[in-house]
């Protein structure tokens, strides 16, 4: 029988494609502690904004479940559970507003109303007839300074073979600051109001690990929003479709006698070569456009060893990176969270152990680097602090569980096709040397 956990996971991840993001976290108790999953979703919406650009929006999905902390797509949080009750405190991305590079025609002449981050807390209880919840959100990015209160209900699943369908209802009260920031103008001030959303999410389990995911939702905006000159009439609606790969059902989580900590230190130079050119060794130029550097520290743990019987290990990392901007601007910090897969099945391993690694996840920067300012400025494009993160590398073992390596620290915005990454097309690359060991 296909894992019920994988079905729940696929349903839950589909929700994160929703720009309304109007629900308490549906990923509760989906993965076991130490579980991991990745996926990708294409979303099409009828925006609340009049004259909004159409086309499919892309959303990469990364999920990790710890004992107390978790990364759930666009949410990072802490969890506390007692029998059927669950309390979460979290930081969540708000899919609302518009950026410089994707500005609706009704907002021309206005400054961007950029998406932000909400700090929130939720309380939910599982009942025999479904799962009701309440949630409070407060802008933590100093964008709107607004607040939202939500009451929602997840109905129990309807299953037929490999197909699972799950409906949801949400009532959301938004205060005046939140509504006015995203839909107000100099002549119109949006007050507080109630939004109502209905949604239907579905998953089809292809295998124990692979799932197709999709869904439909519609939101009736309050009169305070629909009356804005920036808004169009009718429902805000969305449809989305994608896939998910869940590492967790495939095998037991790798559990050693102790819990070794992976520590990696690196130092890199800016490069105007793109990440594919560097990995193919077609271009390794450094400091040709600007003379900036980075130093980073990554901390991680191995999640799965020998995944699927292949010579592949999966690890999870969090890291901090210091940007040395030299004379261009003040130095600053960035942070990242990512999965990394290592392939070590080479014929020469009996003489020298080598491995190829590819990391993928998220990077948040305290400010925009000179590299990205230059790269985007020459093409008259905007910038974004939250971007996708890639970390391809090649390592040679120099001692027991100690590796010397070379790689690329890369940030980019999914070719301008992801609202989650500010619709940014471009980024930055730093070619680095690293030393990694395990304690």
Q: What is the pLDDT of residues 326-372, one digit of tens each?
A: 999 999 999 999 999 999 988 898 889 999 999 998 899 999 999 89
Q: How would you class 388 by CB atoms within 10 Å of its CB: exposed for 0-12, middle for 13-18, buried for 19 or more? A: buried
Cα 407 from Cα 305, distance rounded (Å): 22
The share of the chain scoring above pLDDT 70, in percent, equals 90
Cα 371 from Cα 266, distance rounded (Å): 18
pLDDT band, residue 34 (cuts 50/70/90): confident
| Residue 180 tokens, joined | 């006015």
Cα 228 from Cα 303, distance rounded (Å): 49
Three-class secondary structure of residue 12 per DSSP: helix
Instruction: Specify the pLDDT at position 181.
Output: 96
Instruction: Specify the pLDDT at position 29.
Output: 64
Cα 217 from Cα 168, distance rounded (Å): 9
Instruction: Specify the pLDDT at position 321.
Output: 97
Beta bridge partner(s), residue 345: none
Cα 84 from Cα 33, distance rounded (Å): 18
| Residue 257 tokens, joined | 């006698």
Cα 136 from Cα 363, distance rounded (Å): 26
Instruction: Specify the pLDDT at position 353.
Output: 93
The answer, yes or no, to whether residue 17 has pLDDT greater than 50, is no
What is the pairing mode between strands 262-270 and 236-246?
A: unpaired
Q: How many CB atoms lie within 10 A of CB 372?
A: 23
Cα 10 from Cα 30, distance rounded (Å): 10
Three-class secondary structure of residue 137 per DSSP: strand
Cα 235 from Cα 218, distance rounded (Å): 6
Instruction: Specify the pLDDT at position 376.
Output: 76
Instruction: Specify the pLDDT at position 16.
Output: 45
Cα 20 from Cα 328, distance rounded (Å): 38
Instruction: Specify the pLDDT at position 14.
Output: 40
- Asked whether 140 and 117 are in contact (CB, 8 A), the reply is yes
Dihedral of CA atoms 126, 127, 130, 131 in degrees, nearest 10, equals -30
**C-alpha separations of 108 from 75, 229, 348 in Å:** 31, 12, 60
Three-class secondary structure of residue 169 per DSSP: strand
The answer, yes or no, to whether residue 300 has pLDDT greater than 80, is yes
Cα 425 from Cα 417, distance rounded (Å): 8
Instruction: Specify the pLDDT at position 230.
Output: 96
- Asked whether 299 and 335 are in contact (CB, 8 A), the reply is no
210-236 average pLDDT score: 92
- Asked whether 135 and 118 are in contact (CB, 8 A), the reply is no
Long-range contacts of 72-78 (CB under 8 A, 24+ apart): 72/12, 72/16, 72/25, 72/27, 73/13, 73/16, 73/27, 74/16, 74/21, 74/420, 75/16, 75/25, 75/27, 76/337, 77/25
The share of the chain scoring above pLDDT 90, in percent, equals 47
The whole-angstrom distance between residue 361's C-alpha and the CA centroid of its chain comes to: 7
Instruction: Specify the pLDDT at position 22.
Output: 37
Cα 392 from Cα 358, distance rounded (Å): 4
Backbone angles phi, psi at 160, to 5 degrees: -145, 105
Model confidence over 43-81: pLDDT tens digits?
A: 888 899 999 887 677 888 888 888 888 888 788 899 998
**C-alpha separations of 347 from 105, 311, 326 in Å:** 58, 12, 44
Dihedral angle sign, alpha carbons of residues 189, 175, 383, 415: negative
Residues near 146 by beta carbon (within 8 Å), at least 6 away in sequence: 138, 139, 174, 175, 176, 177, 178, 179, 181
């Amino acid at each position: 029988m296909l894992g019920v956990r994988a079905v729940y996971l696929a349903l839950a991840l589909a929700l994160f494609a929703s720009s309304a993001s109007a629900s308490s976290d549906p990923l509760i108790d989906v993965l076991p502690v130490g579980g991991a999953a990745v996926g990708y979703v294409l979303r099409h919406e009828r925006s609340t904004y009049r004259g909004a650009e159409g086309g499919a929006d892309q959303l990469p999905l990364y999920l990790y479940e710890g004992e107390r902390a978790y990364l759930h797509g666009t949410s990072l949080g802490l969890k506390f559970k007692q029998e059927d009750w669950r309390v979460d405190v979290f930081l969540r991305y708000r899919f609302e507003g518009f950026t410089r590079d994707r500005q609706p025609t009704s907002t021309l002449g206005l400054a961007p109303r950029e998406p932000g981050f909400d700090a929130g807390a939720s309380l939910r209880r599982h009942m025999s007839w479904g799962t009701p919840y309440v949630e409070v959100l407060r802008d933590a990015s100093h964008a709107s300074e607004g607040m939202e209160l939500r009451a929602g209900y997840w109905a129990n699943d309807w299953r037929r073979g490999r197909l699972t369908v799950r409906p949801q209802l949400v009532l959301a009260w938004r205060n005046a600051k939140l509504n006015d920031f995203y839909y107000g103008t100099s002549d119109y001030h949006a007050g507080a109001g109630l939004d109502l959303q209905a949604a239907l999410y579905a998953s089809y389990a292809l295998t124990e690990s692979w799932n197709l995911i999709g869904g439909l939702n519609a939101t009736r905006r309050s009169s305070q929003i629909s009356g804005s000159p920036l808004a169009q009439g009718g429902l805000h609606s969305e449809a989305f479709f994608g896939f998910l790969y869940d590492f967790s059902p495939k095998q037991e989580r790798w559990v050693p006698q102790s819990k070794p900590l992976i520590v990696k230190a690196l130092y890199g130079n800016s490069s105007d070569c793109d990440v594919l050119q560097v990995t193919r060794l077609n271009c390794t130029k450094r400091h040709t456009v600007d003379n900036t550097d980075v130093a980073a520290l990554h901390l991680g743990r191995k999640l799965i060893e020998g995944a699927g019987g292949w010579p592949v290990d999966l690890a999870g990392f969090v890291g901090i990176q210091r940007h040395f901007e030299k004379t261009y601007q003040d130095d600053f910090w960035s942070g990242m969270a990512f999965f990394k897969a290592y392939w070590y099945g080479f014929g020469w391993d009996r003489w020298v152990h080598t491995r190829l690694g590819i990391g993928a996840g998220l990077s948040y920067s305290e400010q925009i680097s000179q590299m990205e300012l230059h790269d985007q400025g020459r093409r008259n494009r905007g910038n974004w602090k939250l971007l996708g993160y890639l970390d391809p590398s090649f390592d040679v073992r120099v001692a027991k569980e100690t590796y010397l390596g070379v790689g690329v620290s890369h940030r980019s915005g999914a070719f301008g096709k992801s609202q989650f990454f500010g619709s940014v097309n471009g980024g930055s690359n730093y070619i680095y040397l690293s030393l990694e060991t395990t304690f």
